[in-house]
Structure 1
Amino acid sequence: MHFIVHCLDHEDALQRRLVNYEAHREYLASAKVQSVISGPLVSDDGQTMIGSCFIFEAGSKEDVVNFNRNDPFTVAGVWQQVSIHGFLMRIDNRDE
């Protein structure tokens, strides 16, 4: 099943985000859950990172919750708010 993870940063999190970025990328690459697509959310200026969005493929929501709990961004206190929801993918135009 697919899951969307929507994360909003603390207002003062940019430096923690930058310091932990490589560890976060390595953690995603080693995932028990598969990252389908992911990237930072940005403010209206199109550059300032304010959060993260992921689509994961996993066996259960619990797998995604546990994976997120150990993400270096979570451990470093980058994210203020995290929402995890099941997602029924109906259309996927990435191969076009």
Structure 2
Amino acid sequence: MYYIIYALDRPDAGDLRIKTRAAHREYLHRPDLPVRLVLAGPLLADDAVTIIGSVIVVAADSRSQVEAFSAADPYRHAGLVGSVRIELWNWTTGNPELEPAQ
């Protein structure tokens, strides 16, 4: 199953994001995660420059695995994140796992 993690930063946390970015990226690419990272990237404000949060898509067997993965993210530990939503997602279009073999 696929899940989307939609995390919005605290409005005053821009410097904190910069300070913890390396740890966050290292965490996302650890080989022992309880989920499989599918895609991830920052959410941008309308100015297309200011980062306001993150979207992470993972494959996992359960919501509890995704919740544990999200809770252990260095961004969360540092207090950068103001809110998090985790939603089950049905990835259909553009999913290479569903594309017919050629």
Please report the TM-score for the alignment, with normalisation by the length of structure 1: 0.93
Runs of 4+ in 1 over 6 A off after TM superposition: none
Instruction: Give the drift of 1:33.
Output: 1.0
Residue 73 of structure 1 corresponds to which residue in structure 2? Answer: 75
Distance 1:92 1:3 in 2: 16
Residue 52 of structure 1 corresponds to which residue in structure 2? Answer: 54
Unaligned runs of 5+ in 1: none
Residue 7 of structure 2 corresponds to which residue in structure 1? Answer: 7
Q: Deviations over 1:22-75 (max 9, x none)?
A: 000010001221111100001000010000001101111100100111100000
Q: CA RMSD in A?
A: 1.2
Corresponding pairs, count = 94
Name which one, 1 or 2, has greater alpha-carbon Rg: 2
The residue matched to 1:20 in structure 2 has which SS? helix
Distance 1:16 1:4 in 2: 23
Unaligned runs of 5+ in 2: 97-102
Give percent identity, aligned residues only. Answer: 37
Tell me which amino acid in the other structure corresponds to 1:64: V
Tell me which amino acid in the other structure corresponds to 1:92: G
> 85-94 or 44-53: which moved more?
85-94
